[in-house]
Chain A
Amino acid sequence: MSKAKLENSSQIGLTNSKGLSSIFNKKTIPYLLLLPAFIYYAVFWLAPVFAGVLEVFTDMNGSFTLTENFKLMLKSDLFDKAVMNTALFAAISVILQYFIALLLAVLLSRKFKGSKLLMFVAMIPMAITPTAVAILWKTGLIKDGWVNSVLMFLRIIKEPIVFLNAEGLAAVFLIVLIDTWTVTPSVMIILSAGLQGIQRELKEAAYTFGANKWRIFVDITLPILKPSIITSIILRLIAAIQVWAIAVMVLGFSRVPFLVERIAFYVDAVPGVATSEKLAFTFSFTTTVIVFITTVIYLRATKKKTKQGGNS
């Protein structure tokens, strides 16, 4: 694409946009197009962000404080657990989901009868609202729910398990499993798309030079997929950090505390208490900072990719 051509095109456009040419010259057009987004983000993003930050660094009486609210947060019930659970959940769920999804995507990379149907089925969980997912699994996990029914039918267990009494790690794992059910199929579709996008000849070339299936996977397929895998993993991580609805709806508030669950807790469960709002603000701020750090890591990763020349 030559730049001259582009400039040319906008100039031709100009001659037709009668009289406005003084504003609509080719230098200002991009800024004009971006202006609505600028204004929007100044008002509805930057302003709230600043307001939020301001709240975090002022105490109840409105005077500046650097650490007061963070101390409040650190001392708040279940804070340490919320941090731990969020980290655990994000790590375990992403690893589990990508492992399963990659395995499935590789195994199913060959076309076969019913692959269309499979993809169709895989699309369903990802279109289901998280609230509905939570209710779906709650109906399953109650003592006389369908999960116990299935497990008893398969003779895996003899007595119904009371899943909803799960505590600590077991409870986190329960949420991980539910999230995995919801997310894995869509991850698989994304990875399948990547796999299908790899030219067959790239693998065949390696094969003719003596690479076996495993070597081809490790040396060719995986590295070519790597940039897109990293991107989607980071996006998943960011989503995983914000888990809360499923945990609250399946188990209830404060049972498996997560960072965002704490926000909802202070907004929904204990509103009106003086410290609640401050705590909600501080938790929001903290979560945002964590997500932001993850984003920066992501940016680094993609930068590297463009330096490498990416995959053409």
Chain B
Amino acid sequence: MDKLNIIHKTVISIIISTMVISVVVPLLFFLSITFSSDVEMTKFPKALIPTFAVTVKVAPAEDGEYEIFHNRGEGYRSIITTKNPTKLENHFRRQYSVTISGEKLLEDFSKTRVNGSMEFKYRKDIFYNFKQFFAIVNNSIPALKNSVLVALYTILISLSIGSLAGYAMARYTFKFKEVINVTLLIVRMFPVVGISIPMAVLLIKFGLFDTLLGLALLYSVPNIALTAWITSSIFIGINPELEEASFVFGANSFQTFMRITLPLAFPALAASSMYAFLTAWNDTISALILTNQNQTLALVVYKAIGTTSSGIQYAAAGSIILILPALVFTFIVRKYVNQMWGGVEL
């Protein structure tokens, strides 16, 4: 019995570690790449942990020039020979992500005139790739703002319209309820791409093409239905007597809804807003179809991978910016989402 237990435990530990490793290792490498300099990107094999400094060997050369050596895996090799400060500065910035003025470099290197060849160590600008991303992809800052706003609009539209419908579905019996239920389900499952192109035509008519509101209107289509579905299941669970008690104490319907029903339904609303957020934040295809100028961050990052084929580390930095809010949002509301899933303990 004990022996079996030990085997069982070992097998489980191995499986768990394999799973954790296979989730975490790609993430770590990815993170490492977003902090890698151009030179590190060409290195192979890749390091799990990025370096935070670069070491170069400098030897004095003729005509006041310096020869710079760098170890790229197979020992120190001569990289460039120059005395031009701009060239040096660019070289260090582009290759090593070290932002330092050329004059300062020359000043440092001048010591080699006396001492012979020397090693120099420079701190990397670890956020270099992020700065580059915003620099290269010139509309990325507005795109970030757009993404946030579109997500916000989507949450507002979906929650306000969807929760009303959810309340009606939970609390009342009426004709066509079954039909409406099925319709909501179909809408929820309906692929957004399916209506994106005709939606573009419609939005042009309304003058909403290439606007954030236009995008949010599209993203709300599945999310209103989803919100109705999630909230109605929660409203059903809320005892109507709680509402009646409020009526008895003289509150009107609106006050009751605001003070009693809404707070009780908060987990459902939190979960719904997460799904609305993720729809808006993660989508690229609809944004591709419905926007020209007002692009969202996901779209911009998607396009960046085409425009900067060599510097994939910049696109990686961009996607970190894309990931973070979604990650934060998900983890804030995960408690409520878990409640929806039947109280799985996390």
Contacts and interface: CB of A to CB of B under 8 A. Distances in A.
A48 B198 contact: yes
Contacts of A245: 284-285, 302
Given A13-B252, A193-B344, A150 B164 contact: no
A51 B202 contact: yes
A131 B319 contact: yes
Given A37-B228, A144-B43, A193-B341, A112 B12 contact: yes
B252 A129 contact: no
A214 interface: no
Given A45-B221, A160-B44, A267-B289, A118 B16 contact: yes
Interface residues on A, range: 35 or more
B253 A13 contact: yes
A295 interface: yes
B305 interface: yes
A97 interface: no
Contact of B165 (A37, A107, A189, A291): A37
B270 interface: no
Contacts of A197: 342-343
B220 interface: yes
Contacts of B53: none
Q: Which of B191, B298, B301, B313 is the most central at the interface, judged by chain A CB atoms within 10 Å of its CB?
A: B191
B80 interface: no
Contact of B186 (A17, A285, A295): A295
A1 B242 CA distance: 13
Give the dominant DSSP class at A's interface.
helix
A288 B191 contact: yes
A267 B42 CA distance: 34
A121 B20 contact: yes
A27 interface: yes
Given A34-B164, A149-B45, A181 B26 contact: yes
Interface stretch (A66-74, A87-95, A134-142): A134-142
B127 interface: no
B118 interface: no
B322 A17 contact: no
A197 B195 CA distance: 38
B12 A137 contact: no
A110 B63 CA distance: 74
Given A135-B315, A146-B46, A116 B26 contact: no
Interface stretch (A75-83, A215-223, A276-284): A276-284
Interface string A124-155: 11111111101111111010111011101100
Interface of B: 11-12, 15-16, 19-20, 22-27, 29-30, 32-33, 42-46, 160-162, 164-165, 167-168, 171-174, 180, 182-183, 185-187, 189-191, 193-199, 201-202, 217-218, 220-221, 224, 228, 240-241, 243-244, 247-248, 250-253, 256, 278, 281-282, 284-285, 288-289, 298, 301-302, 305, 312-313, 315-316, 318-320, 322-323, 326-327, 329-331, 334, 338, 341-346
Contact of A192 (B247, B284, B323, B344): B344
A114 B45 contact: no
A124 B320 CA distance: 13
Given A48-B202, A287-B193, A132 B342 contact: no
Q: Which of A17, A31, A55 is the most central at the interface, judged by chain B CB atoms within 10 Å of its CB?
A: A31
A17 B252 contact: yes
Given A48-B198, A108-B15, A292-B189, 13 more contacts: A3-B173, A16-B247, A40-B220, A41-B221, A44-B202, A44-B221, A123-B330, A128-B326, A138-B305, A146-B32, A185-B23, A196-B345, A287-B191
